[in-house]
Structure 1
């Protein structure tokens, strides 16, 4: 097993939901970490202090179009990791600015905004978001940088049934389709290992440990909380197919960033087509084979945890 730990890694979006645990795990792996956010604020103050305490250097960039400033920020970095909001417009307009600055600064490896569905194997035209991510992959190759794509499947916070992020339990499409889902902390650990691993240069990394159907998720929830009534709303395959093309541009989902149409396109890949993961893609490595000793938190453990399900301490 070969790790390149004596590297300087810049994480753009280091105080975000995915970025924060990823950055902390990079620091715990003994990497030299530059944690980048837009600016200090009351909202990210505590996370910035945590990052400093973990040994990370803090950097700030409020304007990615200032290429000279961004290039100076990346100076000495061997790897740049993008963990900002994964929205089509941002990926098309902002992320190439970071890539250009990374190239000018002599960065070797670029880890783009993925951290979800296996876009490498998807056809174009399914989703505006996935098309933007695929276009970014091509830009990295054209720039001559090595890319590493991290595909964890679904974040369990949003995939497993719970009342912290949703007002009701909702299922989608095919209830019997196996889905890959992992706890956000496990995603942070594996992503950090992969980013520092020389074997992953030019590759995609698929997390493939926790696979279960939505029906199994509901069964585990009921087994853990037999006295609790969990009403379930189901969004049918037909409804998803309709909203993929005819859905609105409003953002109505709780804690959502995507429009209703974009969310339907994502739900199609996750819950209808079965293309959330692609472990057989020739450019893809299985995280469980790369790091066989790592112990993941299981869906059963999460669904029996009152804090995970209800937000209780």
Structure 2
């Protein structure tokens, strides 16, 4: 990595992960140009400035304006979140502008399990990443995708795995299937390092912790002092059937994560198809990764009532 101060163009900085990446880049002394939509609220811009980033309003539909905004950047980092109009449309225009501006490197918004190993058609959001991968790999820019499994932050409620009210760990398939989790702050810090690494490979795979449902049950029992039991909801085949039913009942949605999409993600994790085969955790030196137990400890403390 170069000691020269570099400029990184960040898109999606008003989102949760993007905001964390902006802060992580700024802490490394990078000039962070946070490209935002024209008319973005003053409150959001102030939050970005507080990270050390510079908000830059740009018309994302104007190719010339977008090229100008990216000129001089050493890397473009995308943390965009959305469906086809965003991941393929907006991010595609961003890629075209980066190539036109001569930006040498691009980190797409691929923060996920290993979508390169999943089956086409099984997971809508992974299919979008796969489609963008084909597009960026056909371009002259040097791309690096960061794959991190699931966000460990989701273990505290958004992902229906740890069920404190009934002292259960819900799982599908095999209770000993290894699952990859990485905290958002760790993903952001690693992304900042990767953005400055001119020799970064096409894929970087990281996991703050690798645990099974059985491991989570043991952890929660240790943290709470109450017995935690495993609750097998069913096999992978049953999960697939539930996904089909859920998607049939809600066939059209403009949200990135409807219930059935979360189930698709869970299927890719529980089946092992999205498992990260090898990890690049130490590429930028040893760091203190956030473990599942670190995330669950305050969660366990806030749910002290034992099962009746």
1:87 Cα deviation after fit = 2.6
Q: 1:131 aligns with which of 127, 133, 144?
A: 127
Which residue in 2 is equivalent to 1:283?
none
The answer to whether the aligner puts 1:223 opposite 2:222 as a matched pair is: yes
The equivalent of 1:198 in structure 2 is 198
Q: Which residue of 1 aligns with 2:31?
A: 32
Counterpart residue number, 1:296: 289
Determine the structure 2 residue equivalent to 1:267.
266
Aligned mates of 2:10, 2:206 — CA distance in 1:
20
Change (3 A) 1:308 1:235: farther
Moved more, 120-129 or 287-296: 120-129
> Cα–Cα, structure 1 residues 166 and 122, in superposed 2: closer, same or farther, change >3 Å?
closer
3-state DSSP of counterpart to 2:199:
helix
Cα 1:125–1:76, aligned 2, differ >3 Å: closer, same or farther?
same
Between 266-275 and 111-120, report the one with greater CA deviation: 266-275
Task: After TM superposition, give the deviation of residue 222 of structure 1 in Å.
Answer: 2.4
Taking the aligned partners of 2:260 and 2:157, their CA distance within structure 1 comes to: 23
Change (3 A) 1:127 1:163: closer
Which structure 2 residues correspond to residues 276-295 of structure 1 after superposition, within 5 A? 276-279=275-278, 286-295=279-288
Q: Tell me, in whole angstroms, the C-alpha distance in 2 between the residues paired with 1:251 and 1:20.
A: 31
What CA distance in whole angstroms lies between the structure 2 residues aligned with 1:258 and 1:306? 23
Who is 1:181 aligned against?
181
1: distance between equivalents of 2:158 and 2:121? 33
Question: Any conservation in 2 of the 1:302–1:308 contact (CA below 8 Å)?
Answer: no
Q: Structure 1 residues 171 and 53 mapped into 2: Cα distance closer, same or farther (>3 Å)?
A: same
RMSD: 3.0
TM-score by length of 2: 0.83
Question: CA 1:230 to 1:19, structure 2 compared with 1: closer, same or farther past 3 Å?
Answer: farther
Cα deviation for residue 89 of structure 1 reads: 4.2
**Pairing 1:225-240 to 2, within 5 Å after superposition:** 225-226=224-225, 234=233, 236-240=235-239
Report the counterpart of residue 50 of structure 2 in structure 1: 53
**Structure 1: tracts of 5 or more residues without a match:** 280-285
Match in the other structure for 1:108: 104
Tell me the distance in 1 between the aligned counterparts of 2:77 and 2:125: 18
Contact 1:153 1:276 in 2 (8 A): yes
Q: Distance in 2 between matches of 1:228 and 1:60?
A: 53
Q: What 5-or-longer segments of structure 2 have no aligned partner?
A: 164-168, 304-308
> Could you tell me how far 1:226 is from its partner in structure 2?
2.6
CA contact (8 A) 2:170 2:233 kept: yes
1:94 match: secondary structure: helix
- Kept in 2, the 8 Å contact 1:249–1:260? The answer is no
Query: CA deviation digits over 1:51-72, x for unaligned, max 9?
Result: 31343211124x5222122222
8 Å CA contact 2:217, 2:228 repeated in 1: no
Secondary structure of the 2:127 match is helix
Task: Answer with 119-128 or 80-89: which moved more.
Answer: 119-128
Alignment partners' CA distance in 2, 1:190 and 1:148: 12
Partner of 1:23: 22
- How many corresponding residue pairs? 293
Residues 244 and 186 of structure 1: is their aligned pair in 2 closer, same or farther, counting only changes over 3 Å? same
- State how 1:246-261 maps to structure 2 within 5 Å: 246-248=245-247, 257-261=256-260
State whether residues 121 and 278 of structure 1, in contact with CA within 8 Å, keep that contact through their aligned partners in structure 2.
no
Separation in 2, partners of 1:52, 1:307: 34
